[in-house]
Amino acid sequence: MTGLFITATDTEVGKTVITGAIAAACQARKVNTGVMKPVASGGVRNCQGSLISEDAEFLMAAAKIDCNRRHLVNPICFEAALTPAVAAQIEGKTVDLQLIYNTYHQLCNQHDVVLVEGVGGITAPIWQEFLVADLMLKLQLPGIIVARPDLGTINHTVLTAAYARQRGINVAGIIINGCKEPTGILEHSNLQYIKQLTGLPILGKLPRVSSIDVTAGKQAALAELAEQYLDMNGIIAIMRRTEQ
């Protein structure tokens, strides 16, 4: 079984868009692809009154997964828009790590590829002192770091990659989300320094597109955008190497 763990330099960087784009492109290539948002916060109530993660809903739509499998895609969801460890304490709940592991393995048995999206950045606390980085190590998936194109992204991206390397996490590459077109000196210099200082490949630069919106559930031509702006051949090759 193979897959990817998509993390980021911070919250609201675009992990969900990138995970959904990769999932949509894989499905378009006839790859049986599962998606997972193990734990989410900031959940909303749907028309049935159930607490759901908008991130998970976006991923399910991208991967063409029916809503009756929501409990596998997102086994843990909190209403408070806080890091999961804090949201759980405020709501008087715990984060059942074993439930996450068991659910992940169920998905592995049902799909050829499983894409796992983290929460926040790589050091976000999931439960007590258990961080996103610890979950990445537990699942043993190659990671992709999603970064912003803006001023300051060099620092955030280099530090994230260095921390991952220190923890022994296999980071396969970096994807820049929300790029402006045409690109200018800021974007070009950011890419140059990120590649130079991390030693990691840039696996794509996805532009900001009005037809893509996680909260609104908009994902028109998501697979086509992934094929155009992401190195999908390289990303699939990473997953195949992991499988060997």
pLDDT in tens, 17-72: 999 999 999 999 999 999 999 999 999 999 888 999 999 999 999 999 999 999 99
The listed CATH number (3.40.50.300, 3.10.20.30, 3.40.190.10, 3.40.50.11540) that belongs to domain 2-243: 3.40.50.300
Of the candidates 37, 64, 138, 205, the residue annotated as catalytic is 37
**Residues 132/97, Cβ–Cβ less than 8 Å:** no
Return the pLDDT at 242.
64
Give Cβ neighbours of residue 104 (< 8 Å, ≥ 6 apart): 36, 38, 114, 116, 139
Q: What is the DSSP annotation of 30-60?
A: T--EEEE--EE-S-EE-TTS-EE-HHHHHHH
Would you place residue 180 in the very low, low, confident or very high pLDDT band (cuts 50, 70, 90)? confident
Percent of the chain's residues with pLDDT above 90: 91
CA atoms within 13 A on the CB side of 175: 31
Return the pLDDT at 47.
86
Does 138 qualify as catalytic in the annotation?
no
Report cis status (omega within 30 of 0) of the bond before 142.
Answer: no
Would you place residue 182 in the very low, low, confident or very high pLDDT band (cuts 50, 70, 90)? confident
pLDDT at 166 over 60: yes
